[in-house]
Amino acid sequence: MATSRFRAIRTRPRPRTTRTHLPSSPWLFLAPGLLVVAAFSLYPFVSTVMNSFTDARTLTAGRFTGGANYRELIHDAMFWTGLRNSLLYVLGVVPLLVILPLLLALLVQRQIPGISFFRAAFYTPVVASVVVVGLIWVWLLDDRGLINALLEGLGFGGAGFLSDPWLLLLSAMAVTVWKGLGYYMIIYLSALANVPRELHEACAVDGAGAVRRFLTVTVPAMRSTMVLVGALSSVGAFKVFSEVYLMAGPAGGPGGEDTTLVMLVQQAGTGLSGRVGYASALSVVVFVMTLGLMLLVLRAHRRADAE
């Protein structure tokens, strides 16, 4: 009896379970993201490269002209002016954006009363609109603005922050540094949280002061983060547009002396008769130079690590 019951249980059919068949290829999961990248990044890039070899304009399709746009670009005086200003912008902005946010992060890392307010205050320019920030600084630096009024009140006389080409470029650099301090400060703060306190305590026991601890502990520990900040700020500085455009105007200041490469792209490619082919050639040159700049930064980092 027991044996027949046991056999009946064994021969009872098992309930069927529905199995969810997952796609066998991981490319199916990546397909939506790849389509977005192809539509909004890859296609515009390929289209820009192809247009750079044509004489395309805003309302007309272009004919293939070979390297005519690139040859014209080499002989264009405004291109060399824009390249000079973009490189000067990198040299003036990047060192400050690598060092000052690190010092600021060390300052706000301290647990003192009210430090949260200062962290938020330092980060506020990052979330502010570039247009609003530019207009505020234009009002401050105008010939009749607040800063010139203070300088005249102190007996120093006014300065042509927005009329002198070199002062205008320096003023735009100052705005870029001021706006980027909070962003890179956050990056440094996250990296400083991973530095062991024992290293600082051991240096303090050995009699090292604050400056020596900074140079022997903080800087080596922050080297990778400093390279990251240097690469990001280099790309941003080389492709600067908004700050200079708002402070110098569409023409790039007096005589176009403060025009940058990205401003040249905007000047050449916009309007009903915009030279899309020439602007595309400028865009390709900016891309190649930006890529080369990043590779130089990464190579310098590898060489420093090897030494």
In this predicted model, what pLDDT tens digit does every residue of 65-111 receive, in sequence order?
A: 888 999 999 999 999 999 999 999 999 999 999 999 998 988 888 77
- pLDDT for the residue 153: 82
| Longest distance between any two alpha carbons in the chain, whole Å | 115
* 167 has pLDDT over 60: yes
Strand partners, 64: 54
DSSP 195: S
**What is the residue-averaged pLDDT of the chain?**
83
DSSP 222: T
CA distance 277 to 296: 29
Give 41's contacts (C-beta < 8 A, 6+ positions apart). Answer: none
* 287 has pLDDT over 70: yes
State the alpha helices, DSSP H only, in 129-222.
130-141, 146-153, 165-192, 197-205, 210-213, 219-221
* 207 has pLDDT over 60: yes
Estimate to the nearest angstrom the gap between the alpha carbon of 30 and the chain centroid: 26
- pLDDT for the residue 11: 54
Give the pLDDT mean for 254-274: 85
Check residues 59 and 57 and name the one with the higher pLDDT.
57
- The values of phi and psi at residue 64, to 5°, are -70, 125
In this predicted model, what pLDDT tens digit does every residue of 140-159 receive, in sequence order?
A: 888 888 888 888 888 777 77
Token pair of 134 as six digits: 């530019």
| Long-range pairs, 145-151, Cβ under 8 A, ≥24 | none
- pLDDT for the residue 306: 67
DSSP per-residue string spanning 29-72? HHHHHHHHHIIIIIHHHHHHHHHTTB---SSSPPPB-TTHHHHH
Burial class of 53 by CB neighbour count within 10 A (0 to 12, 13 to 18, 19+): buried
- pLDDT for the residue 258: 87
Residue with the two structure tokens 């200003």: 85
**What's the fold here for domain 68-306?**
MetI-like fold (1.10.3720)
* 126 has pLDDT over 90: no
Closest CA to 137 of 195, 177, 101: 177
Check residues 3 and 280 and name the one with the higher pLDDT.
280
Check residues 229 and 300 and name the one with the higher pLDDT.
229
Token pair of 219 as six digits: 């800087």
**What Å distances lie between residue 141 and 25, 88, 168, 174, CA to CA?**
59, 21, 9, 11
Token pair of 126 as six digits: 């990052």
Closest CA to 49 of 29, 70, 74: 70
* 6 has pLDDT over 60: no
- The values of phi and psi at residue 114, to 5°, are 85, 5
Helix (H, G, I), strand (E, B) or coil at 272: coil
Kindly indicate the confidence band of residue 281, based on its pLDDT and cuts at 50, 70 and 90. Answer: very high
Kindly indicate the confidence band of residue 286, based on its pLDDT and cuts at 50, 70 and 90. Answer: very high
